[in-house]
Amino acid sequence: MRMMWSRTGVVCAAALVAFGTQAWAGSVTGTVKFEGQPPALKPLDTSADPVCHSKHKDKPLPNEVLVLGPGQTMANILVRVTKGAPAKEHPAPAEPVVLTQEGCRYAPHVFAIRVGQPLMVLNPDGILHNVHSLPKTNTALNRAMPANMTEMETKFDKIEEPFAFKCDIHPWMQAWCFVTDNPYYSITKEDGVFSIDGLDAGEYEISAWHERLGVKTATVAVKDGEPAKVDFSFSKK
C-alpha cells in the first residue's frame, strides 16, 4: 500500500510541475490602432475578368491594404518577438496553414507559417488562378492552378521576413507570408488585439509590421504569470 501511495505522489507531483510551468508562463498583449484620418481606399477593380467581376457585382471587393475596425483598430498587423525569443526548439506543426483563393481574392491577407510546415493552397473558384510567391530567401513558387485543380501543397525551408503572394492572372490578388521558426507571433483581426504567449520572464523587443506603413517596435518586460501590455499605433505617411 505504501508503494501505491508513493507512485501516486510522484505522478501528482509531476502533474503539478507541468501545470505550474504552463501557469507561470508570461505573455505580451495589446492593441494596434490607426491614428488620424484614414485614407479613402477605392474598391478593387475586377472588371478584367467577367467571372471574378460577377462574384462581386452586389458588393465590390474591398481593398485590404488597410482594414479598420471600430475605433480604428487595425487588422492584418503581424506582431512578433524580434529580440529575446526563448532559445527553444519548436518542431513545425503537421497541420497545414491554409491559403484560399475564393472570390478571386487571397484569404487570409496576412499569414504566418513555420519553417517546414505545410502550406495548403486551395482553389474553390472553379477558374484558372496562378500562385506566385515573391520571397528573397526561400524558393519562389510560380504555379498555375487550373479550374480542376482544387488544392496544392508546398513548404518553406528558411525563416524570412514578410513577402508577397500574387496571381499573375488577377493582378489585384495579393497576400503576405511570414516564415518563422518559433510560435512567438500574432496577427490581428479587425479588433486590433494581439497576444503572444509562452514567454519566459525577461525583456523582449516586440515589433508590429504593416505592409505599407512599415514597422513599429517597443521594448517590454515580461514577468512570470503576468501579461505585459504594449499598444502600437500607425498613421498615414
Number of neighbours of residue 51 by Cβ within 10 angstroms: 14
What digits encode the pLDDT tens for the residues 182-215?
Answer: 999 999 999 999 999 999 999 999 999 999 999 9
Predicted pLDDT at 17: 39
CA distance 164 to 110: 9
Closest CA to 31 of 86, 85, 70: 70
How many domains does the chain divide into? Answer: 1
Q: CA angle, corner 37, sides to 36 and 42, nearest 5?
A: 145
| Contacts of 149 by beta carbon, 8 Å cutoff, 6+ apart | 123
- The rounded distance, in Å, linking the Cα atoms of 13 and 236 is 54
Asked if the structure places residue 6 within a domain, the reply is no
Q: Is residue 19 part of a domain?
A: no
| pLDDT level of residue 65 (50, 70, 90 thresholds) | very high
Domain housing 41: 26-235
pLDDT exceeds cutoff 60 at 14:
no
SS3 label, residue 218: strand
What average pLDDT does the chain have?
91
* pLDDT score for 24: 58
Contacts of 214 (CB under 8 A, 6+ apart): 234, 237
In-domain check, residue 7? no
- CA 87: distance to chain centroid? 21
Question: Model pTM?
Answer: 0.88
Query: What is the tens place of the pLDDT at every residue in 110-122?
Result: 999 999 999 999 9
Instruction: Give dist(CA 115, CA 182) in Å, integer.
Output: 9
Q: Any idea what the CATH number is for the domain that residue 162 is in? A: 2.60.40.420
Give a yes or no: residue 96 inside a domain: yes
Per-residue cell: 148: 480542376
Q: Is residue 74 part of a domain?
A: yes
Residue 8 lies in a domain: no
Identify whether 121 is part of a domain. yes
Return phi, psi of residue 146, to 5°: -65, 170
